[in-house]
Structure 1
Amino acid sequence: MSTEPALTLTERRKAATQLDIARAAAELFAERGPDGTTAEEIAHRAGVALRTFYRYFRNKQDAVAPLLAGGADRWRARLAATEPGTVPLAEALERSVADALSVPDATAAEGLRWTRGLLRAADGDPALRAVWYRANQESEERLRPVLAALAGEGADPLEIRLAAAAATDAIRVALEAWAPTEAPPGEVAALAVRCLRELTGGMRLFSRR
């Protein structure tokens, strides 16, 4: 099951360029901090012209948005792949969260490394924190139709909205709690599942079988 249409070739190329710029921005933020990084330096590191940078992003902090959104996209895709009615919704959600935040390969570990670096950099940069919060808000909105499809007809729209908010915040809080520490990436998944259970424990939507 998928609720998101496939990207065209042009859209994939655009997304690839944006991701290259996002990675360059994340690297420079980790090395020098946002205050010590310019848009020109990000464009140079990414191998694009400055006008290309501004074609996609309003400012240097915005440039990391694709990197932050990527993890949420993969998580929703895992959840959307669940066949409705095969497992309880709570179980499907926990499984997708744990899978998305586990580190089975180098790509997953790299994604968490990027996120840790960006959250540490955001601690002293309000504009970068705003990008992080916006990424979470957008992820929450895109999660609602996925949960609605899994919950089936008759599900209360308010319950769906609350569930999407709780699931998104569970991951956000887990990552924010983990990022400042030296804990290994493998601990994030368990922390996120714990947060999810705490936030959804009293929801009727998850008590149904």
Structure 2
Amino acid sequence: MTQPPSRPAANPPSLTERRKAATQLDIARAAAALFAEHGPDGTTAEAIARHAGVALRTFYRYFRSKQDAVGPLLSGGAERWRALLEAAEPGKLAKTLEVAVGKALSVPDAATAEQFTWTRGLLRAAGHDPALRAVWYRVNQDSEERLLPVLARLAGPGADPLEVRLAAAAATDAIRVALEAWAGTDAPASGPGSPAELAVRCLRELTGGMRLLAR
């Protein structure tokens, strides 16, 4: 019997990497809070650093601009989704994607609910701030690129690379469009009209005719 391809072993992050990620998230939350109160135009990098309790040089060690600072908040959902897919076994790719989307955009605890609140506020602000909108698009582009090898493994060695790339683009856009649509409403983070429900709907619409997902 042919054995399924094994998943690459993931190296756990080092203490330095965990501290770096924690500092970045603290800065991101500070930026989001100040954006919500004063708007991006009324917020400076100095104010974000002060609110986060770090030196301004520390801020610029991690981020190029005040808008860049919210990247870790905007990318959180994509990281959860990718981790779920990395842990999945090859099989029915369409079903695997749907299940992972539903879990990644679920709201299991207060911390996740808070992150969705930040995301909604940031996406609304991005509608009026081109630099913030560029950060959101860059987060999605990065997510798509990092998703490619994950989907290639799940699709198997005989998969057409073009079909894998299309699937990665469609899946990433499904989540992006769902979050943008949800952010423009007052729907809750779970249940009808939630990001998870909208993302599964978008995923089915965008990938319904793909041969790769029909296997």
- Equivalent-residue separation in structure 1 for 2:120 and 2:8 (angstroms): 29
Moved more, 63-72 or 38-47: 63-72
Residues 55-74 of structure 1 mapped to structure 2, 5 A cutoff = 55-74=61-80
Write the deviation string for residues 51-72 of structure 1: whole angstroms up to 9, x where unpaired.
1101111110010111112221
Give the equivalent residue in structure 1 for 2:140: 136
- Equivalent-residue separation in structure 2 for 1:57 and 1:168 (angstroms): 24
For the Cα contact (< 8 Å) 1:3–1:145, is it kept in 2?
no
Residues 54-203 of structure 1 mapped to structure 2, 5 A cutoff = 54-85=60-91, 88-186=92-190, 187-203=194-210
When normalised by structure 1's length, the TM-score is 0.95
Offset, 1:6: 2.8
For the Cα contact (< 8 Å) 1:97–1:193, is it kept in 2?
yes
For the Cα contact (< 8 Å) 1:2–1:77, is it kept in 2?
no
Give the equivalent residue in structure 1 for 2:53: 47
- Equivalent-residue separation in structure 2 for 1:198 and 1:112 (angstroms): 24
When normalised by structure 2's length, the TM-score is 0.93
- Equivalent-residue separation in structure 1 for 2:9 and 2:123 (angstroms): 29
RMSD: 1.2
What amino acid is the match of 1:12? R
For the Cα contact (< 8 Å) 1:2–1:81, is it kept in 2?
no
Offset, 1:39: 0.5
Structure 1 segments, 4+ long, off by >6 Å, are none
For the Cα contact (< 8 Å) 1:20–1:46, is it kept in 2?
yes
Offset, 1:8: 1.7
Write the deviation string for residues 154-188 of structure 1: whole angstroms up to 9, x where unpaired.
11110110000000000000000110211111121
- Unpaired stretches in structure 1, ≥5 consecutive residues: none
Moved more, 66-75 or 193-202: 66-75
Offset, 1:2: 5.3
Specify the SS of the correspondent of 2:74.
helix
* Corresponding residue pairs, total: 206
Give the equivalent residue in structure 1 for 2:19: 13
- Equivalent-residue separation in structure 1 for 2:30 and 2:198 (angstroms): 29
Offset, 1:83: 1.7
For the Cα contact (< 8 Å) 1:3–1:146, is it kept in 2?
no
For the Cα contact (< 8 Å) 1:39–1:50, is it kept in 2?
yes
**Identity percentage over the alignment?**
76
- Mark the CA change 1:203 to 1:75 in structure 2 (over 3 Å): closer, same or farther: same
